Chain A
Amino acid sequence: MRESEMIICRCEEVTYQELLDTAITYSCSARELKLRTRAGMGYCGGRTCRSIVDQVAKQVGSEQSKKNISLKYQAPIRPVNFVDLGGEGK
Chain B
Amino acid sequence: MNNVIIIGSGPAGLTAAITCAQKGLEVSVIDEYMKPGGRLLGQLYEQPDGSWWNGINESKKLFQQAVNLGVQFYLETPVFNIEKKDSLWVVYTDKETFQTTNLLLATGAAEAPVPIPGWTLPGVMSIGAAQIMTNVHRVKPGNRGLIIGINVLSSAIAMELKLAGVDIACLALPKNNQITHESAHPKKVLDSLLHVAHMAPSTFVKLGSKLMKNNFMKELGVTFYPRNGVKMWDIPIQLKKAVIEIYGEQEVEGVTIASISSKGEVIEGSEENIAVDFVCIAGGLYPLAELAALTGCPFHYIEELGGYVPLHNEQMMTPVEGLFVAGNITGIEGAKVAAAQGKIAGLSIAKRSGKHQLDEDLKDAVQQGADTRKNAYIQFHPEVDSGRRRIQEEWEEYLVNNTVQFF
A: residues with CB less than 8 A from B are 1-3, 5-8, 10, 16, 20, 45, 47-49, 51-52, 55-56, 59-60, 66-81, 84
Contact of B301 among A60, A66, A74 (CB under 8 A): A66
B: residues with CB less than 8 A from A are 32, 78-81, 83, 92, 94, 110, 112-113, 115-120, 175, 177-179, 245, 247, 286, 288-291, 293-294, 296-301, 307-308, 394, 398
The docked-state distance in angstroms from the alpha carbon of A79 to that of B79 is 10
Tell me which residues across on chain B come within 8 A of A73, comparing CB atoms: 290, 293-294
CB atoms of A56 and B301 under 8 A apart: no
Tell me which residues across on chain A come within 8 A of B394, comparing CB atoms: 68
CB atoms of B179 and A56 under 8 A apart: yes
Q: Of all chain B residues, which has the CB nearest A76?
A: B80
CB within 8 Å for A71 and B115 given contacts A3-B177, A77-B294: no
The docked-state distance in angstroms from the alpha carbon of A79 to that of B110 is 17
CB within 8 Å for A68 and B293 given contacts A6-B116, A48-B113: no
Tell me which residues across on chain B come within 8 A of A71, comparing CB atoms: 289-290, 293, 299, 308
The docked-state distance in angstroms from the alpha carbon of A79 to that of B32 is 13
CB within 8 Å for A75 and B113 given contacts A51-B286, A68-B394, A70-B299: no
Q: Of all chain A residues, which has the CB nearest B107?
A: A77
CB atoms of B300 and A67 under 8 A apart: yes
B129 to chain A, nearest CB (A): 12
Tell me which residues across on chain A come within 8 A of B289, comparing CB atoms: 71
The docked-state distance in angstroms from the alpha carbon of A1 to that of B121 is 12
CB atoms of B120 and A84 under 8 A apart: no
6 pairs of A and B residues whose beta carbons are closest in the complex: A75-B81, A76-B80, A66-B301, A71-B293, A73-B293, A1-B117
A59 to chain B, nearest CB (A): 6
Chosen A-B contacts, 23 in total, with CB atoms closer than 8 Å, are A1-B118, A2-B117, A3-B177, A6-B115, A6-B117, A8-B115, A8-B179, A45-B290, A47-B110, A48-B110, A48-B113, A52-B115, A69-B300, A70-B296, A70-B298, A71-B293, A71-B299, A73-B293, A74-B294, A77-B81, A77-B294, A78-B78, A78-B80
The docked-state distance in angstroms from the alpha carbon of A22 to that of B115 is 18
CB within 8 Å for A5 and B307 given contacts A68-B300, A78-B80: no
The docked-state distance in angstroms from the alpha carbon of A12 to that of B217 is 44
B183 to chain A, nearest CB (A): 12
Q: Of all chain B residues, which has the CB nearest A67?
A: B300
Tell me which residues across on chain B come within 8 A of A47, comparing CB atoms: 110, 288, 290
Tell me which residues across on chain A come within 8 A of B308, comparing CB atoms: 69, 71
Q: Of all chain B residues, which has the CB nearest A44?
A: B110
The docked-state distance in angstroms from the alpha carbon of A84 to that of B81 is 12
- For the complex with contacts A1-B247, A78-B80, 16 further pairs of A-B residues with Cβ separation under 8 Å are A5-B117, A6-B116, A6-B117, A8-B115, A20-B178, A51-B113, A52-B113, A68-B299, A68-B394, A68-B398, A69-B299, A71-B308, A72-B293, A73-B290, A73-B293, A76-B80
Tell me which residues across on chain A come within 8 A of B247, comparing CB atoms: 1
Contact of A10 among B79, B120, B177, B294 (CB under 8 A): B120
Interface centre among A1, A56, A70 (most CB of B within 10 A): A1
B23 to chain A, nearest CB (A): 30
Tell me which residues across on chain B come within 8 A of A66, comparing CB atoms: 300-301
The docked-state distance in angstroms from the alpha carbon of A68 to that of B245 is 38
B161 to chain A, nearest CB (A): 22
The docked-state distance in angstroms from the alpha carbon of A2 to that of B291 is 37
B393 to chain A, nearest CB (A): 12
Tell me which residues across on chain A come within 8 A of B300, comparing CB atoms: 66-69
The docked-state distance in angstroms from the alpha carbon of A77 to that of B91 is 12
The docked-state distance in angstroms from the alpha carbon of A49 to that of B110 is 11
The docked-state distance in angstroms from the alpha carbon of A80 to that of B80 is 8
Contact of A49 among B81, B113, B297 (CB under 8 A): B113
A43 to chain B, nearest CB (A): 13
Q: Of all chain B residues, which has the CB nearest A79?
A: B80
Q: Of all chain B residues, which has the CB nearest A5?
A: B117
B107 to chain A, nearest CB (A): 10
